[in-house]
Structure 1
Amino acid sequence: MTTLEIKDLHVSVDTEHGEKEILKGVNLTIRSGETHAIMGPNGSGKSTLAYSIAGHPKYTITSGEVLLDGENVLDMEVDERARAGIFLAMQYPVEVPGVTVSNFLRTAKTAIDGEAPKLRTWVKDVKSAMENLRMDPAFAERNVNEGFSGGEKKRHEILQMELLQPKIAVLDETDSGLDVDALRIVSEGVNRAKETSEVGVLLITHYTRILNYIKPDFVHVFVDGKVAEEGGPELAERLEAEGYDRYLTAKA
């Protein structure tokens, strides 16, 4: 059983007007096999939370802890966090010219496991995962995210998740830019990863449509850098019907 504990996390970012606090005391616990959906309006700090967990240098942790099975990941470098079992699917995946998908995936797997996967088994696993995600085999020889459509980028993120088998996966708006078919296929990939490896999932989204495919155990409403309300799947349904106005009105 893996546990990620976020304790009173405060995070700031430098702006042209000086340092601005984005996260203002976030508390959250995610365990193996659980799916936590974080929902909230634009600018509420959802992506800041994702990148802070992963170790993006843009964000400054001013106080608090992020514990993975008792170890503070904030003391780790980015690559150490990945080896410890934390995975981030980015909202806007970056292009890596000159590096093919196949080379990228095998290099990443080797770095995380500390040894290269057996080639025959690895090729079989990659082929199977790509077929499940309805990805053309030729995709493996394209450069990472170069010229990819939005749907291709998101499928590639989930392909990584399935093959790298993290302990905790942070999915930052994986549903953005996806049509209905791509959303279903990507969601099926997340569900497969949960079934095979009991990964804990932190799913960041604006909309409830992805939650029709990936059922959350817990829903957390983010407003102004803090968790404003928590509940089960029924909370997402209420947000779909009512929106975030009542939280924003209370804040004002």
Structure 2
Amino acid sequence: MSVLEIRDLQVSIATDSGPKPILKGVDLTINEGEIHAVMGPNGSGKSTLAYTIAGHPRYQVDGGTITLDGEDVLAMSVDERARAGMFLAMQYPVEIPGVTVSNFLRTAKTAIDGEAPPIRSWIKDLRTHMTDLRMDPTFAERNVNEGFSGGEKKRHEIMQLELLKPKFAVLDETDSGLDVDALKVVSEGVNRAKASTGLGILLITHYTRILRYIHPDFVHVFVDGRIAEEGGPELAERLEEEGYDRYLNGTSVG
């Protein structure tokens, strides 16, 4: 069974006045097939955790470890992390002018697997996933995220997830900017990926609405760069009723 382990993770970013600590000792273990929801107020460090796992160069790891099946993730380049089985669905996917969705996805699949997928089976898989995500067939020939609506960007992220078949996925506010219909479609895609591959998921969100469709095994409350409380799905229900006021002490991080 695959396992992603985070131990005493401490992360900062550079500012004009010097390094600013953001993560202040995070411990988290995600096993294959588990869904972990990370919730918390703005500025609590949730996205910093996501981008540190993915290897964003802005974030400086000052201490702690991240391992995937015992291998040191922090020693890997971004592409090595992807090939090892890591995936990040970004909160704000970027545009890639001049690169079509179909070319982008096939290039990514080739890089992950080490060989190009057979063209006929690839086209079939692409069409199947587009149908499942209720995307127009012409979407494949559009440039990546160029002129996409918020819902289209998030559906494209989930199509990548289903096609690339990682071991672990970090979903950074995938529900952001989605209406109810798009939220259901995106959630169905995440659930399909988990069911077909045993995907482990770290789901970052402010709100409980996505948790009505993607049911977490564990909920972690993030406050001021630390996990302030952990529990099961009932914790998310309590947060829906009470909010985060009981955790806040007037401190905020970036």
Q: TM-score, normalised by structure 2?
A: 0.98
Structure 2 counterpart of 1:102: 102
Give the 4+ runs in structure 1 shifted more than 6 A: none
Map 1:59-208; keep pairs closer than 5 Å.
59-208=59-208
Q: Distance in 2 between matches of 1:13 and 1:250?
A: 21
- Name the count of aligned residue pairs: 252
Cα distance in 2, alignment partners of residues 250 and 154 from structure 1: 33
Shift of 1:200: 0.1
Give the unaligned 5+ runs of structure 2.
none
Any idea what the Cα deviations from partners look like across 1:48-88, whole Å, max 9, x if unmatched? 00000000000000111000000011000000000000000
Identity of aligned residues (%): 76
Shift of 1:250: 9.0
The amino acid across from 2:118 in the alignment is K
Q: Within 5 Å, give how 1:3-82 maps onto structure 2.
A: 3-82=3-82
Bigger mean CA deviation after superposition, 157-166 or 116-125: 116-125
Deviation at 1:16, TM superposition (A): 2.5
Secondary structure class of the residue paired with 1:188: helix
Distance 2:139 2:164 in 1: 18
The alpha-carbon deviation at position 249 of structure 1 amounts to 4.0
CA distances 1:224-245 after superposition (whole Å, capped 9, x unpaired):
0000000000000000000000
Distance 1:134 1:50 in 2: 27
Query: Are 1:244 and 2:247 an aligned pair?
Result: no
The 3-state SS of whatever aligns with 2:135 is coil
Which amino acid in 1 is paired with 2:198?
E
Partner deviation per Cα, 1:157-212 (whole Å, 9 max, x = no partner): 00000000000000000000000000000000000000000000000000000000
- Aligned letter for 1:132? D
In structure 2, what is the Cα distance between the partners aligned to 1:87 and 1:177?
Answer: 21
Shift of 1:111: 0.1
1:251 Cα deviation (Å)? 6.9
* Mapping of residues 215-230 of structure 1, within 5 Å: 215-230=215-230
Distance 1:50 1:59 in 2: 11
Question: Which residue type is aligned with residue 202 of structure 1?
Answer: L
Matches of 2:36 and 2:82 in 1, distance apart?
A: 20
| SS of 1:201 mapped into structure 2 | strand
CA distance in 1, matches of 2:130, 2:195: 17
* TM-score relative to the length of structure 1: 0.99
